[in-house]
Amino acid sequence: MTLKLFTLLLQAAISTVAISLISIAVGFAIAILISAAMISKKPIYVFPARLFVSFFRGVPLLVQLLLIYTLLPVIGLNVPSIVAAIVGMSLCTAAYQAENLRGGFESVPRGLIEAAEVTGLNPRQTFFRIRVPIALRLTFPALINEAIMILKSSSLVSVVGIIELTKMAQDLASSTYLPIPIFATAGLIYLVINSAVALIGRFAERSLGGAST
Amino acid sequence: MSLPAIAITKLVKRFGDSTVLQDIDLEIPEGKVSCLIGPSGSGKSTLLRCLAFLEESTSGMITINGEALGFFETPNGKRERLPDTQIRAVRAKTGMVFQQFNLWPHMTALGNVSEALKTVHKLPKRQAEERAMAQLRKVGLENRANHYPSQLSGGQQQRVAIARALALEPKIMLFDEPTSALDPELTGEVLNVMRDLAAEGMTMVVVTHEIGFAATVANQISFLDHGRLLFSGPPSEIFAKPRHPRLDQFLDTYLDRGASMLA
């Protein structure tokens, strides 16, 4: 295990983190819309949202990635594989985050929404000013959980040809015949990244502490 | 005789098969305190929630300062829902205070009070916060402006909730059991704020179990039972003996709630 190998692993870890963070953020934006659709009580919104969630939760991420990677060129979108990877991961995490958020929205006490109503906020203002921030606080631990899951699942994007941490470790292991130190180091890097995410999450949660229900 | 602040005519509210309010007729005078009392399940909170348009009545009409709230009934009995913009305009005449305070937990006291000024009335942040601060001062919580609801006592939270409603300069304040969720030693501070408000001439409709408050502050007390308005009048009249037997029975259960002076 040389410094050169370690540097290569770290560089690959940057891809892992970048792909994961972008997917979590994009997935979150999609999840807000999907969960809003699910709580809308209007079948024309609820049904497609449910369909979306059941598909992206029910099909393995690996299959989703392969499907998206092969499907995009067929429908005329020739995008680099990194885009296909981010699209796949974003849609998948969006499904999970949407379910979390829906639970959060439904746990916002009815009275807080009534208070918004009687102070004159319209439904859109109530959604963005009251429901979203409160639901977010309620679901924050689940969001951090999901971020960690996505960081780990990102190892799957190697199937569409992206060299991230796991793939790099595999390649290095087979070319150097040093699998154990290399995989152990890769595992350690994942652990450090995820511990940092958990730590940031806990810190953020505490700084929201005064605002808990 | 000036226009009543609120006029309720033949109001009916049904939830499915059960009738919660039956033919309520009531006028609430301007600048006076009107208390709604009655046993739980009598419909008093539902009536107040109808006034805030948090519940939509099944039939009948409510007017606020002469303007129809939510629905308009023609003399031949046809009922029409008014457009949302109009509903919002009439609702803006009232402010509502809830039993559970319902402060938004992610905003400070100041944030709670200034929120609608910023998002609904589009006041610049500074101006909104100045107005909010003035309301917090009024309820004696200027020095708690930057506290989150979870850092405040129940009594303080309810005072912030009152400030939040007052900041929008309503003509009428609606209170739904404002002290019922409070420890007994915290009810006083809330009732005092309400007394001050009454002394300023605010029109107030208060659903309450605080019979002592009702007897001393209210100008009008209405007694509801099983969805019906049994009687309504000034406290001197309705508490005078001989009383309505149903009220006597009700008061018996409240002797330990500050009503002993009326026994």
The mean per-residue pLDDT over the stretch A165-173 comes to 94
Closest CA to A154 of A18, A8, A57, A9: A18
Q: What does the domain layout of chain B look like in residue ranges?
A: 96-169
Residue B105 near chain A (CB below 8 Å)? yes
Euclidean distance between the first and the last CA atom of chain B, given in angstroms as a whole number? 34
Number of domains in chain A: 1
Q: CB B168 to CB A119 under 8 A?
A: yes
Q: Between B258 and B10, whose confidence is greater?
A: B10
Residues constituting chain A: 213
pTM above 0.90, yes or no: no
The mean per-residue pLDDT over the stretch B160-165 comes to 97
Asked whether residue A57 is domain-assigned, the answer is: yes
pLDDT category at A213 given cuts 50, 70, 90 is very low
Q: CB A119 to CB B107 under 8 A?
A: no
The CATH code of the domain that includes A79 is 1.10.3720.10
pLDDT category at A189 given cuts 50, 70, 90 is very high
Q: Give the per-residue pLDDT at A211.
A: 47
Asked whether residue A2 is domain-assigned, the answer is: no
The most confident of the ranges A77-81, A207-211, B82-86, B126-130 is B126-130
Question: How many CB pairs (< 8 A) connect A and B?
Answer: 72
A89: domain range? 8-211
The mean per-residue pLDDT over the stretch B153-177 comes to 96
Which residue of chain B comes nearest to A121, CA vs CA? B120
Q: How many angstroms away from the CA of B78 is the closest CA of chain A?
A: 27
Residue B104 has pLDDT above 90, yes or no: yes
How many helices (DSSP H) and strands (DSSP E) are in chain B?
9, 12
Asked whether residue A68 is domain-assigned, the answer is: yes
pLDDT category at B262 given cuts 50, 70, 90 is low
Q: CB A212 to CB B165 under 8 A?
A: no
CA-based angle B131:B133:B134, to the nearest 5?
A: 65
Q: Give the per-residue pLDDT at A36.
A: 92
Question: Residue B206 in 3-state DSSP?
Answer: strand
For B142-167, letters b (16+ CB in 10 Å) and e give: eebbebbbeebebbbbbbbbbbbbbb
Which of A109, A111, A118 minimises the CB distance to B52? A118
Q: How many angstroms away from the CA of A116 is the closest CA of chain B?
A: 8
Residue B233 has pLDDT above 70, yes or no: yes
Structural tokens at position B74: 């023609």
Average pLDDT taken over every residue of chain A: 92
CA B37 to chain centre: 12
Tokens 């631990």 appear where? A141
A22 Cβ contact partners less than 8 Å away, ≥ 6 residues apart: A86, A90
Q: CB A211 to CB B148 under 8 A?
A: yes
Average pLDDT taken over every residue of chain B: 91
Q: How many angstroms away from the CA of A24 is the closest CA of chain B?
A: 23
Q: Give the per-residue pLDDT at A209.
A: 57
Q: Give the per-residue pLDDT at B1.
A: 52
Residue A210 near chain B (CB below 8 Å)? yes
Q: How far apart are CA A212 and CA A139, in angstroms?
A: 11
Residue B84 has pLDDT above 60, yes or no: yes
A111 Cβ contact partners less than 8 Å away, ≥ 6 residues apart: B98, B100, B102
Asked whether residue A185 is domain-assigned, the answer is: yes
Asked whether residue A3 is domain-assigned, the answer is: no
Torsion of CA B48, B50, B51, B57, to 10 degrees: -140
Asked whether residue A1 is domain-assigned, the answer is: no
Q: CB B96 to CB A118 under 8 A?
A: yes
Judging contacts by C-beta atoms under 8 Å, the chain B residues touching residue A212 are 105, 150
Q: CB B102 to CB A111 under 8 A?
A: yes
Which of A119, A208, A213 minimises the CB distance to B116? A119
